[in-house]
Amino acid sequence: MIRGVRGAITVEANEAEQIVSATERLISEMVTKNEVQPDHVASIFISATNDLNASFPAKALRKLKGWTYVPVTCMQEMAVPGSIEKCIRVMMHIETDRAQQDIEHIYLEKAKTLRPDLIDKKVNLD
């Protein structure tokens, strides 16, 4: 079964190192929490808000061992008035036996405000 794993993180400044480092942190946590292997990834979409253009966030993926052939693309997030700033979002499509409700979506830094219902879903389900 192909499932989507969502994640988001914010950075403090439009600096290449922050963008790549934050994206690497986010993807690493998504991978760890969902026990993802590179061979089980169909594709990854990464978006960034229009105030982030110092680097492609996808560069972070190339720092991870074994991820050379994973298809990844970057795009610009919609510029909705009042939306969160300096935010990187990831949608990872993975092959997994996990049920939809068992996927762990990761929201870090100020991006926690995007989906508070998914931050600690085990508590919210009880």
Q: Is the pLDDT of residue 81 over 50?
A: yes
Per-residue pLDDT tens digits for 85-114 = 999 999 999 999 999 999 999 999 999 999
Q: What are the CA-CA distances from residue 97 to residues 32, 38, 74 (Å)?
A: 16, 15, 27
Confidence of residue 62 (pLDDT cuts 50, 70, 90): confident
Confidence of residue 117 (pLDDT cuts 50, 70, 90): confident
Neighbouring residues of 5: CB distance < 8 A, sequence distance ≥ 6: 30, 34, 36, 90, 91, 92, 93, 94, 103, 104, 105, 106
Give the residue extent of every domain in the chain. Answer: 2-125
Q: What would be the CATH architecture of the domain defined by 2-125?
A: 2-Layer Sandwich (3.30)
Token couple for 34: 């969902």
Which residues are known to be catalytic?
6, 62, 74, 77, 89, 107, 115
Q: What is the mean pLDDT of residues 30-34?
A: 97
83 alpha-carbon distance from chain centroid = 17
* Per-residue pLDDT, 118: 77
